A and B are shown apart, each in its own frame.
Chain A
């Protein structure tokens, strides 16, 4: 397994290179000018040319990319062309919000998805149909629409949860959690139903296995069969789906953070897009790639821990 993880880690490098290179080359395709964006429409051509030189925008694209990459390796992702703030410090300020959303959503997806799936495998009937209906809704209603509906119902109509805003974890744990209930709900609905359906299918498979009959025949309690044996066997394929759900909620933060006005990477990404602030977008792109890779790595590790056949290999 160590070898597999090593290979996975090595894949990070080409991934980050591909993402940043793609964004760089796209940028070089357009005659659009960051220098003019910074200086404004009324700047003199001389001033623009001077700034271009200063930013290295007059160099060939590949040269620009190499310069960026060499700086990035040293932890310097450049500065925002909009605010002038270093990209690294912008990202550092906003990462906790997005990370909170992704971690909480993943926990919700995992816990509720597994519980629902297991219950529906054992009980079937109305719970199974409910799950099918909810999962159709979860797949069909776009995340931003779920977020808006959640706001209109729980924040505007019933006034239970705040509609917008964020409380840092360091200020108040309760406030942090309270502020994130609705966004996490909107982010995790689809993933939860995906995990629940997977767990239901694999738990049904596991319940039909010979070893369940063997354990029953030899007096192991039903509780232990379900909560230990069926659960562990059913979670093995569910871990992969949970990883997909975690990555989907990372993507979803772009939309959901905007609905709830949370100061995370998602709102930053849309602002940077409106401001044509490429260095920031590039930084967010690299960061999202790294988060995705870390999620996949965790999935691989958990998969290996649960599945002894992988661990031995």
Chain B
């Protein structure tokens, strides 16, 4: 999804007309038009009704729809259409009464509580809490009993009772608006609270208020017609919607048609109120998010004139010695015109027991590459071409069931944010035991004991106690140890570590790296270590694979990559590593930004930021060049880069 960061919150006065927005939606427009017709028709009932609502025609009782009686007649031969039109007056006025009362209470109370806050807010919220537990319908019935069937009194009291829930929603909306910057700005310009409330808070909460009004109307209509159905309200010959449903239900067998128009009009009108509320809510939400959407559209449009998807590179045979051998791995997200290549022909190997660092900035495609190896690409992602050889078998085409058999026991994952990697709703001991039980045949008790052993093996002090804690009760470092314990529960041959130390404090980082190194030595597993931190690479890795904008740009042993980096990007990246910073001198940075997927240049992806770049670099796809055993770089200017570096070093040393 598009990140919310950087989407400018627009100011209230720039809002477009909400009504226009609602009418632009088919369901919103239908609801508005329907409600307008129904209200108008009921108001004009004396003009529109084809018959008198009370006139009986005993020669035409219980008719279905006819030309003379479009909606049929009831048991006394009265025209149902005319009775619905007149009856609607009663119901709609009842809705209006409840609505007006509820809004008159809820709007000032809700906005004021949200805006003023403090003790006033707490007091209002407490009152709302209490009144929401009041059984509104019983109190309304009591009102009917006391005011001898006065529907007006009933709907007014009902309006008072439902105002609490509306006030609560309006309050939280006002609270959100209050937090926004322009309210502070208004305050500093010397507007009084009252002025801010009326000029800024109220207009911004208007959408929420209309949504609430539509919902309250739907509920009030249900209550009004429900009470009339139970026999309250105007006495019999007088038509009411609810009363007519009651009549229809008493002769379901004799005259089943009558339930259709009577219950139908209530249902459709309630539905229209509901749909109106939905449309206003959506229009309102879009109004606030609009800047984001246009930004996305613009980016999508420029996508088409960006580089075409690169041709799949001819893939070289897998390395037979390697546990994992990735060849020409190309991963894309989206389909058709929206398809975006995010990993472009990645090649690398990991031997048994070896630690390989997959290094790159964010957006280089390193995490996607690692997830592709595990068969866990996020929704919409897929391997377009290339192969993933694991222990001699190409697993890139595996089904999810086949992958499931591999994961946990042969390959495993520890991820970047240990705090969100664990399920917050279960105890740590349970989660470790669960993973153990999915790999080995173990009783609950045995799994539990093994889980504590594993927690001890990842050097958690007091593992018994940690097992009883929930993830939110432990620190990030402890959570990462738990995650490691879970990953190792199935004794995997390959561990994918996706930036496992990035979110941790420096001292904790060192401990986790220590732990991983010693566990790896003991268990002899291979590790694919995804990181952007050269310090971590130097600390724990045997070899490094450097990625830039979806491509592997250099592969080398750790010693080589530090002492003799071949690719200009690797060099620049190391120069800008804060670990190499010289005190008192500005930190060198690489000019420009990593081009996002879909905006990669045709030639070398790094060319625009590279000081060695020549025209040829931008002409076409750049292949990788081998420089010794397991050593290669995707650069046609290796020699130039290399000789300049040698020169500089000589100057420095000499």
Contact = CB atoms under 8 A, between A and B. Distances in A.
A117 B256 CA distance: 34
B226 A143 contact: yes
B116 interface: no
B252 interface: yes
A142 interface: yes
Nearest to B153: A26
Interface string B450-487: 00000000000000000000101100000000010011
B270 A141 contact: yes
A164 to B, nearest CB: 12
B225 A233 contact: no
A136 B425 contact: no
Nearest to A281: B142
A69 B141 CA distance: 21
B245 A26 contact: no
Contacts of B427: 308
Contact of B146 (A148, A250, A278): A278
A219 B408 contact: yes
Q: Indicate the size class of the contact surface on chain B.
A: 35 or more
A251 B425 contact: no
Contact of B142 (A26, A228, A259): A26
A140 interface: yes
B142 A285 contact: yes
B413 interface: yes
B141 A145 contact: no
Given A18-B134, A149-B263, A292-B133, A229 B470 contact: no
A232 B426 contact: yes
Contacts of B226: 142-144, 254-255
Contacts, number: 218
Nearest to A19: B134
Interface stretch (A165-173, A178-186, A191-199, A206-214): A206-214
Contacts of B141: 254, 269-270, 272-273, 281
Contacts of A32: 146, 148
A27 B146 contact: yes
A19 B135 contact: yes
Contacts of A220: 408, 434-435, 438
Interface string B102-136: 00000000000000000000000000011101111
Summarize B's interface: helix, strand, loop or mixed. helix
Interface string A285-308: 100110011001000000000111
Interface in A239-279: 250-251, 254-255, 258-259, 269-270, 272-278
Contacts of A148: 245, 248-249, 252, 259, 263
A2 interface: no
A218 B146 contact: no
Interface in B139-159: 139, 141-148, 157
Contact of B483 (A142, A214, A229, A254): A214
Contact of A273 (B145, B225, B404, B435): B145
A187 to B, nearest CB: 13
B287 interface: no
Nearest to B425: A232
B42 interface: no
B499 to A, nearest CB: 12
Nearest to B374: A217
Interface in A117-147: 136, 139-145
A222 interface: yes
A92 interface: no
A142 B267 CA distance: 7
A73 interface: no
A292 B131 CA distance: 11
Contact of A141 (B267, B408, B417, B472): B267
Contacts of A238: none
Contact of B425 (A143, A144, A233, A258): A233
Interface in B382-414: 404, 407-409, 411-413
Nearest to A207: B379
B470 A214 contact: no
A142 B129 CA distance: 26
A156 B252 contact: yes
A308 B424 contact: yes
B164 to A, nearest CB: 11
A149 B259 contact: yes
Contacts of B231: 270, 274
B425 A229 contact: yes
A278 B145 contact: yes
A74 interface: no
A209 B135 CA distance: 39
B271 A213 contact: no
B644 interface: no
Which of A11, A217, A220, A276 has the most CB atoms of chain B within a 10 A radius of its CB? A217
B232 interface: yes
Contacts of A3: none
A284 interface: yes
A217 B130 contact: no
Contacts of B435: 215, 218-220
A308 B470 contact: yes
B143 A26 contact: yes
A141 B147 CA distance: 29
Given A152-B256, A214-B413, A18 B374 contact: no
A14 interface: yes
A249 B259 CA distance: 23
B415 A213 contact: yes
Nearest to B417: A210
A15 B424 CA distance: 35
Given A11-B130, A140-B274, A210 B420 contact: yes
A32 B148 CA distance: 9
Interface of B: 129-131, 133-139, 141-148, 157, 218, 222, 225-226, 229-232, 245, 248-249, 252-253, 256, 259, 263, 266-268, 270-271, 274, 374, 376, 379, 404, 407-409, 411-413, 415, 417, 420-427, 434-435, 438-439, 470, 472-473, 483, 486-487, 489-490, 496
Given A18-B131, A148-B249, A148-B263, 10 more contacts: A19-B135, A22-B139, A27-B142, A32-B146, A144-B226, A208-B379, A210-B415, A214-B483, A218-B487, A221-B404
Lowest 10 A-B CB distances belong to which pairs? A219-B408, A217-B413, A288-B135, A140-B271, A308-B470, A214-B421, A210-B420, A145-B263, A285-B138, A140-B270
30 contacts: A11-B130, A11-B133, A15-B130, A30-B147, A139-B218, A140-B268, A141-B270, A142-B226, A142-B266, A145-B263, A145-B267, A149-B259, A151-B252, A152-B256, A216-B407, A217-B411, A219-B409, A219-B438, A219-B439, A224-B438, A228-B434, A270-B230, A273-B142, A273-B145, A276-B148, A278-B142, A285-B138, A288-B135, A307-B425, A309-B470
